[in-house]
Structure 1
Amino acid sequence: MDKIALITGATSGIGKATALKLAKTGYQIIITGRRNDKLQALKLELEESNTKVLALSFDIRDHEATKSAIEQIPNDWQTIDVLVNNAGLAAGADPIYDGLWSDWEQMIDTNIKGLLYLSKLIIPGMMERKSGHIINVSSIAGKETYANGNVYCASKHAVEAITKGMRIDLLPFNIKVSSVSPGMVETEFSVVRFHGDQEKADNVYKGLTPLYADDIADAIEFMVTRPAHVNINDMLIMPTAQATAVYNHREE
């Protein structure tokens, strides 16, 4: 039987690219996301390549909805081998004194609590089977703090700490725990961060070549295809034009 990978935030960007990549690797795919129309479109795209797909539409910030969706997974889909905690976002780019409570709560609820809700539901099955791989999508923001990044950086620092804690706690159960930490990736990330302002989002990548979703999906594929005795703890991936969270080189 093919292995099963569950990918959150699969309606676009890194999540969608990862679903397509792991499908080519031979995985059956469970995709989740809030936007059911995009989720169903991805399901059809995956099925065109004869991949078995289960689509679950819910908001990962909603604990009860998350619990209900996972509990309703059919029996033949419950042996989840890989969990990719990809759902995440930045909301706003303001100094701490101008930050919006709604932005802060959205980031904390998605990036931290949503990751925990889903992981808590999937981990017991992996523990019982003494097998599994959890990959948390973090960020350069989980390693560095930059101006106007305050709460977003805090949420990704939390992902770093949770990942390390998972790895320690799940060590006796033969469960791999990894994280991938990208720098600038051109997805919907900046559009969401700037509340739909496309001009501001475009300026983030102006004058340089950023990473693309496929670049991060490649890294995730590499992680899950290592031999059983090998775990990639973390991969920090940057565009060639970016040295740190704030230092980059732009062509005129």
Structure 2
Amino acid sequence: MQKWIRTCIERLFFYTPHISQAKLTETFENKTILITGATFGIGEACVRKLAQIPCQLILVARTEEKLISLKNELESPHCKIHYIVADLYDISSSELIYQQVQQLQLKIDCLIHNAGKSIQRSIWKSIDRPQDIDRTIHINYLNPAHLTRLFLNDLKTTSNQQHQSQILVVSTINAKLFAPPLWANYQASKSAFAEWIKAIQPELKIHNINAALIYLPLVRTRMILPTAQYASMPAMLPTKAADAILACAAHNKRQWQPWWLSIAQLCCIVFATPIQFFYRNLLKRNM
């Protein structure tokens, strides 16, 4: 019964747009697509969908064994797969990725920012852990921003009147909601990149580059495993998240979010004081 209820909630609250194989092919055929965080979860789901299309994929992740496995499994005569081993915690990784793409003599048509770092930790437990701030800001904001900056000229060159170049940013609904305690580093870094993208969207559109933000709810990936309370909560499947991301590109949307997120935003504004009170008392009881 509990499983049935969870399934119903997931279908209602985590609905994503359907995108046909024909539309995917029309959008991405003969394109060069770079995906960060490509080896697991949402990134892997995107790779598997795109590998069915005649295109070139550049997979970026830090797990070389999985990158090789995906390349061996999915590469075909119509889909060429390259991979780059990089850890986006290292601030120099964006330059490394860019240089390796140049060595491949490829120009990017679509850049999918999927890699992310999530940390749930009290600020009191982070006093002697500066890496908590560094990791999230490097992976969720600084390196994606630098990658975008480095590939902008490629994206400008590959755009045309028939097909826009694409920047697709996997963000989180948290970036639009009340900032919860214990998630300060994650919230700040994801919000920073979302705001950065929104600020440059008009500049990019002038050159026919579409930058889309995809505000995802909880997705059932290995990122949520360290948070025990998420194990039994309803969550979106990675394949559905991939549909939302790729549909944004196919329909040149500026953003996608769950249908209920605007209602949740309004509630966060109206009930800001009670929410603060609730969190404060919850934390006191758990001390």
TM band (smaller chain) = 0.7 to 0.9
2:146 to 117, 120, 125: 117
Preserved CA contact (<8 Å) 2:37 2:60:
yes
SS at match of 2:211: strand
Aligned to 1:149: 183
What letter matches 1:157 in structure 2? S
SS at match of 1:78: coil
Take 2:150 and 2:215, find their aligned partners in 1: how far apart are those partners? 24
What letter matches 1:89 in structure 2? K
Identity rate, percent: 28
Take 1:8 and 1:132, find their aligned partners in 2: how far apart are those partners? 17
Question: How many correspondences in the alignment?
Answer: 230
CA RMSD of aligned residues (A): 2.5
Aligned to 1:169: 203
Change (3 A) 1:77 1:220: farther
Take 1:204 and 1:36, find their aligned partners in 2: how far apart are those partners? 28
Take 1:3 and 1:119, find their aligned partners in 2: how far apart are those partners? 17
Q: CA deviation at 1:50?
A: 4.7
Aligned to 2:230: 204
Is it true that 1:5 corresponds to 2:5 in the alignment?
no
Q: CA deviation at 1:4?
A: 1.1
What letter matches 1:96 in structure 2? I
Preserved CA contact (<8 Å) 1:21 1:221:
no
CA deviation map 1:118-160 (0-9, x unaligned): 1112111112344411011110121111121112111111122
Q: CA deviation at 1:29?
A: 0.9
Preserved CA contact (<8 Å) 2:212 2:249:
no
Aligned to 1:236: 257
Change (3 A) 1:57 1:75: closer
Aligned to 1:250: none
The structure that is helix-richer by fraction is 2
Preserved CA contact (<8 Å) 1:142 1:155:
no
SS at match of 1:61: coil
Consecutive unaligned residues of structure 1, counting only runs of 5 or more, are 195-199, 247-252
Is it true that 1:137 corresponds to 2:162 in the alignment?
no
CA deviation map 1:185-214 (0-9, x unaligned): 1101123xx3xxxxx44x3131x4310111
Take 1:85 and 1:10, find their aligned partners in 2: how far apart are those partners? 10
Take 1:94 and 1:48, find their aligned partners in 2: how far apart are those partners? 43
Instruction: Give the number of the structure whose alpha-carbon radius of gyration is greater.
Output: 2
Q: How do residues 58-137 of structure 1 correspond to structure 2 at under 5 angstroms?
A: 58-73=86-101, 78-91=106-119, 93-99=120-126, 100-130=129-159, 131-137=164-170
Preserved CA contact (<8 Å) 2:91 2:138:
no
Change (3 A) 1:238 1:86: farther
SS at match of 2:257: strand
Q: CA deviation at 1:223?
A: 1.8
What letter matches 1:60 in structure 2? L
Consecutive unaligned residues of structure 2, counting only runs of 5 or more, are 1-28, 269-274, 276-287
Preserved CA contact (<8 Å) 2:137 2:189:
yes
Is it true that 1:221 corresponds to 2:242 in the alignment?
no
What letter matches 1:132 in structure 2? S
What letter matches 1:118 in structure 2? L
Q: CA deviation at 1:77?
A: 5.2
SS at match of 1:52: strand
CA deviation map 1:222-242 (0-9, x unaligned): 12222xxxx211111389xxx
Take 1:108 and 1:224, find their aligned partners in 2: how far apart are those partners? 26
What letter matches 1:103 in structure 2? D
Change (3 A) 1:149 1:35: same
What letter matches 1:232 in structure 2? K
Larger deviation: 171-180 or 123-132? 123-132
